[in-house]
């Protein structure tokens, strides 16, 4: 018997297989699609009706404030609340324990979960944007490239925060509890309640550095064609990095 | 590694949960190619012991070597050569038998073909059935098939045939004998005497977290001065072994 054992990590095909399997899990459990697909629409319809007033530069409040906020809320709620509760369910039922005795790594499990959740969120967002454009006459962002860049980065950052929740929450209920508190804390700092102008200056300044606040501010700037403040991009990048590293270190199989 | 070197060496393992001592100074040495039984009542520390051997739990004291590797420090290497069937492990409920086999197989560089594995555990007919639709015994058999997916050199089976009907149980025993002939080292946690007697080269008798004896099945009987393994178990532990369901 030889002692030579190679430490081979599963390859790209295995990552893809896991992503496909996770996607099948979601598609076959239609209840799981309610939050990512219907939530964006609901938040949009609730907020859009009262936001037709014009603000500076010929943009409506819908375009300058409401859409950036709604799109960020969608990412935050799915990334920080929905996705972690799925993973906590896997932990609770022992699916993660079973994977722990295979060569699959925590990163693989987390990333597969994030990828599938992002795909769902994108479907929901596409629906919400279609409604915003068709039913509420919203116009696309003035700086489309910047909007995509900010949104992509915001997605990574908020999912990274969600991964921390997912990595540690012992039960599905605790994942929802931790996720909700995180969501509202980030949202409050980022101007989810009445806009960041209504916050004390110091709080608003801190809020702009959180991934939620930075995403809203960055998207808003991109929508009205103002330059995106690099501080917001750096904030999102740092959040992503901190989230991924922390989640990988704290990850628990059971 | 010489052939005298053990496939698994667990030295002075200790584990406590709060105030309760689950495993108290357990030392086991399993030779390469051996089928090694761990026998004991519920709460004897069997599952905790094998979970420490598999690297799922960190021992409070002592250490484990598996094919010369540390199951926690050398996680990536150990996962290539170790197959584990956990007690009560749930799988992705909405995936079919074939999809789960494909997924778990994809984790390994040279997986055993799905068809061959399903044939081995008698699930070939159930290829397209979702895990959540399988009966308890079928889920158990799938779980064993998955443990074999990576062609493990060491196999840990926790309650191999609990919940299986007599026919499936015999089929599993034949599978274990087949794997033994291939040279796989097997640790079998059980409380079924017939199973241990038929399959195991040696048996560790655990009680209240301690090893009472490590002997071949006939040796345990002789040690206790008993007629059979059931009586030997009662004589050595002072406890009745509960019937496997």
Q: Which residues of B touch A98 (CB under 8 A)?
A: 86, 89-91, 143, 146
Q: pLDDT category, B242, cuts 50, 70, 90?
A: low
Pick from B80, B81, B106: CB nearest A17: B106
Q: Tell me the pLDDT tens digit for each residue of A190-225.
A: 877 777 677 788 888 888 889 999 999 999 999 998
Distances (CA, A) of B232 to A4, A50, A245, B40: 41, 81, 54, 12
Lowest-confidence pick of A14-23, A228-237, B137-146, B232-241 = B232-241
CB A166 within 8 A of CB A175: yes
- Residue B236 clears pLDDT 60, i.e. is over it: yes
* A7–B3 CB contact, under 8 Å: no
Residue of A190, A168, A227 whose CA lies nearest to A65: A190
The two tokens of residue B65 are 């070597």
Separation in Å, CA of B157 to nearest CA in chain A: 12
- pLDDT for the residue numbered A51: 67
Residue B47 has pLDDT above 50, yes or no: yes
pLDDT at A241: 95
pTM equals 0.84
Tell me how close the Cα of B78 comes to any Cα of chain A, in angstroms: 8
Scanning B1-20 for CB atoms below 8 A from A yields 1, 3, 5, 7
Distance from chain centroid for Cα A36: 10
CA distance B58 to B13: 10
Would an 8 Å CB–CB cutoff place A94 in contact with chain B? yes
Q: Does residue B243 have a pLDDT over 90? A: no
Say if B106 is an interface residue toward chain A (CB within 8 Å).
yes
Residues in B closer than 8 angstroms to A8, CB to CB, are: 76, 80, 109
Q: What does DSSP assign to residue A101?
A: T
What residues of A are in contact with residue B66 (Cβ under 8 Å)? none
pLDDT at B241 over 70: no
Q: In chain B, what residues touch A29 (CB-CB under 8 Å)?
A: 94
pLDDT-based confidence at B234, cuts 50/70/90?
confident
pLDDT band at B114 (very low <50, low <70, confident <90, very high): very high
pLDDT score recorded for residue B4:
64
Per the rule left: phi > 0, alpha: psi between -120 and 50, beta: everything else, A133 is alpha
Select the more confidently predicted residue: A236 or A35: A236
* DSSP summary character for residue A199: S
- Please tell me the distance in Å from A121's CA to the nearest CA on chain B: 21
Q: What residues in B contact A10, CB-CB < 8 Å?
A: 106-108
- Give the tokens for residue A152: 């992509």
Identify which of A93, A102, A253 has the shortest CB distance to residue B104: A102
Q: Does A50 touch chain B (CB under 8 A)?
A: no
- Which pLDDT value is given to residue B31? 95
The alpha carbon of residue A60 is apart from the nearest alpha carbon of chain B, in Å, by: 45
Which of B73, B79, B102, B149 would best serve as a mutation to test chain A binding (most A beta carbons within 10 A)? B79
User: Which pLDDT tens digit goes with each residue over B134-186?
Assistant: 998 899 999 999 999 999 999 999 988 887 888 888 989 999 999 999 999 99
Mutation for testing the A interface, residue in B90, B91, B108 having most A CBs under 10 Å = B90
Asked if A25 lies within 8 A of B78 by C-beta distance, the reply is no
Contacts of B150 in chain A (CB under 8 A): 102-103
The whole-chain average pLDDT of chain A stands at 86
Q: Is A18 within 8 Å of B32 when comparing Cβ atoms?
A: no
Give the integer Cα–Cα distance in Å for B121 and B134. Answer: 14
| Residues of B whose CB is below 8 A from A103 | 76, 79-80, 107-108, 150
* Complete DSSP assignment for B133-193: GS-HHHHHHHHHHHHTTT--SEEEEESSSTT--HHHHHHHHHHHHHHHHTT-EEEEEE--H
pLDDT band at B11 (very low <50, low <70, confident <90, very high): very high
Please report residues of B whose CB lies closer than 8 A to that of A102: 79, 104, 107-108, 150
Say if CB A243 and CB A182 are below 8 A apart: no
Beta pairing, strands B35-39 & B202-207 = parallel
Give the tens place of pLDDT for each residue, A81-109: 888 888 888 888 888 889 999 999 877 88
A22, A113 in Cβ contact below 8 A? yes
Q: Is A57 on the interface with B (CB under 8 A)?
A: no
Q: Are A2 and B1 an interchain contact pair (Cβ–Cβ within 8 Å)?
A: yes
Confidence tier at A1 by pLDDT (50, 70, 90)? very low
Is residue A161 a contact partner of residue A182, using CB atoms and an 8 Å limit?
yes
Given a cut of 80, whether residue B245 has pLDDT beyond it is no
Tell me the two tokens of residue A153: 């980065």
Whether A66 shows a pLDDT value over 90: the answer reads no
**For B239, phi and psi rounded to 5 degrees?**
-125, 155
Residues 168..227 of A with a Cβ closer than 8 Å to B: which?
Answer: none
State the pLDDT at residue B81.
Answer: 95
Q: Which of A7, A100, A103 sits opposite B108 (nearest CB)?
A: A103
Contact state of A98 with B91 under an 8 Å Cβ cutoff:
yes
Contact of A252 with chain B, judged by CB distance below 8 Å, is answered with no
Span B71-98, pLDDT tens digits: 999 999 999 999 999 887 789 999 999 9
The alpha-helical segments, DSSP class H, found in chain A are: 12-28, 34-48, 61, 67-76, 83-93, 95-100, 106-135, 144-168, 172-189, 201-209, 211-224, 230-250
Per cent of chain A over pLDDT 70 is: 96
């Amino acid at each position: 018997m030889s002692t030579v054992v190679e430490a081979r990590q599963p390859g790209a095909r295995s990552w893809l297989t896991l992503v496909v399997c996770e996607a099948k899990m979601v598609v076959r459990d239609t209840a799981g699609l309610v939050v990512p697909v219907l939530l964006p629409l609901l938040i949009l319809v609730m907020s859009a009706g009262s936001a037709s007033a014009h603000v500076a530069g010929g943009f409506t409040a819908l375009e300058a404030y409401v859409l950036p906020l709604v799109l960020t809320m969608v990412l935050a709620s799915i990334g920080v609340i929905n996705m972690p509760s799925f993973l906590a369910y896997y932990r609770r039922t022992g699916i993660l324990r079973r994977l722990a005795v295979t060569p699959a790594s925590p990163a693989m499990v987390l990333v597969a979960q994030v990828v599938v959740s992002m795909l769902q969120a994108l479907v929901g967002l596409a629906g919400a944007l279609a409604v915003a454009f068709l039913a509420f006459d919203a116009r696309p962002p003035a700086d489309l490239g910047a909007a995509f860049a900010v949104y992509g980065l915001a997605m990574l950052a908020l999912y990274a925060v969600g991964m921390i929740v997912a990595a540690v929450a012992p039960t599905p209920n605790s994942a929802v509890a931790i996720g909700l508190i995180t969501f509202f804390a980030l949202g409050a700092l980022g101007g989810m309640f009445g806009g960041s102008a209504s916050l004390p200056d110091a709080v608003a300044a801190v809020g702009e550095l959180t991934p939620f606040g930075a995403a809203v501010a960055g998207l808003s700037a991109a929508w009205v064609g103002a330059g995106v403040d690099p501080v917001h991009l750096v904030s999102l990048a740092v959040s992503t990095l901190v989230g991924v590293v922390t989640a990988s270190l704290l990850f628990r199989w059971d | 590694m010489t052939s005298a070197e053990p496939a698994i060496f667990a030295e002075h393992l200790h584990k406590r949960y709060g105030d309760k001592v689950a495993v108290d100074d357990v030392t086991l040495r399993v030779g390469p190619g051996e089928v090694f039984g761990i026998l004991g009542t519920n709460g004897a520390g069997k599952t905790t012991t094998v979970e420490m051997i598999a690297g799922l739990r960190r021992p409070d004291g002592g250490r484990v070597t598996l094919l010369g590797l540390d199951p926690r420090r050398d996680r990536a290497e150990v996962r290539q050569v170790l197959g584990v069937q956990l007690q009560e492990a749930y799988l992705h409920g909405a995936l079919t038998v074939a999809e789960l086999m494909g997924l778990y197989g994809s984790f390994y560089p040279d997986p055993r073909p799905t068809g061959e594995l399903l044939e081995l555990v008698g699930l070939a007919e159930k290829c397209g059935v979702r895990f959540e639709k399988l009966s308890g015994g079928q889920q158990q058999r799938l779980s064993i098939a998955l443990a074999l997916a990576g062609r493990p050199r060491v196999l840990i089976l926790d309650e191999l045939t609990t919940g299986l009907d007599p026919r499936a149980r015999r089929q599993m025993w034949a599978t274990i004998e087949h794997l033994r002939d291939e040279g796989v080292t097997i640790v079998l946690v059980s409380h079924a005497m017939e199973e241990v007697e038929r399959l195991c080269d040696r048996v560790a008798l655990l009680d209240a977290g301690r090893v009472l004896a490590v002997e071949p099945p006939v040796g345990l009987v002789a040690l206790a001065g008993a007629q059979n393994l059931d009586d030997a178990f009662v004589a050595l532990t002072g406890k009745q072994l509960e019937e496997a369901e």
